[in-house]
Structure 1
Amino acid sequence: MKTNLGAAAGNSRRTAKSDSAFRTISEAAKELGLQQHVLRFWESKFPQIQPMKRAGGRRYYRPEDIDFLAHIRTLLHDQGFTIKGVQKLLDQNKGKLPSEISVAGQEADTCPTDGAPSDVASMKTGVSASDKAALKAVLGELEELQVILRTGLQGTKKNP
Structure 2
Amino acid sequence: MKTNLGAAAGPSRRTAKSDSAFRTISEAAKELGLQQHVLRFWESKFPQIQPMKRAGGRRYYRPEDIEFLASIRTLLHDQGFTIKGVQKLLDQNKGKLPGEITVNASDVDQGAVAGFASSVSSNTGLNKAAVETVLGELQELQDILRASLRDIKKNP
Q: Determine if the TM-score, normalized by the shorter chain, exceeds 0.5.
A: yes
CA distance in 1, matches of 2:70, 2:52: 18
Corresponding residue for 1:43? Answer: 43
Per-residue CA deviations over 1:66-123 (Å, capped at 9, x if unaligned) read 00000000000000000000000000000000118xxxxxxxxxxxxxxxxxxxxxxx
Corresponding residue for 1:139? Answer: none
3-state SS in 1 of match to 2:99: coil
Query: Where does 1:4-83 land on structure 2 (aligned, <5 Å)?
Result: 4-5=5-6, 8-9=9-10, 12-13=13-14, 16-83=16-83
Structure-2 change in CA distance of 1:11 and 1:60 (3 Å): farther
CA distance in 2, matches of 1:79, 1:71: 10
Per-residue CA deviations over 1:12-52 (Å, capped at 9, x if unaligned) read 42x51001000000000000000000000000000000000
Q: Which amino acid is 2:73 matched to?
A: R
Corresponding residue for 1:155? Answer: none
Identity of aligned residues (%): 87
RMSD: 1.7
Quote how far apart the aligned CAs of 1:7 are: 6.2
Which aligned segments of 4 or more residues in structure 1 are displaced greater than 4 angstroms? none
Q: Which amino acid is 1:55 matched to?
A: A
Quote how far apart the aligned CAs of 1:3 are: 1.7
Higher helix fraction (1 or 2): 2
Q: Which amino acid is 1:94 matched to?
A: K
CA distance in 1, matches of 2:17, 2:94: 32
Q: Which amino acid is 2:44 matched to?
A: S
The TM-score with structure 1 as length reference comes to: 0.58
3-state SS in 2 of match to 1:20: coil
The TM-score with structure 2 as length reference comes to: 0.60
Q: Which amino acid is 2:80 matched to?
A: G
Per-residue CA deviations over 1:106-146 (Å, capped at 9, x if unaligned) read xxxxxxxxxxxxxxxxxxxxxxxxxxxxxxxxxxxxxxxxx
- Size of the alignment, in residue pairs? 99
3-state SS in 2 of match to 1:99: helix
Runs (5+) with no aligned partner, structure 2: 101-156
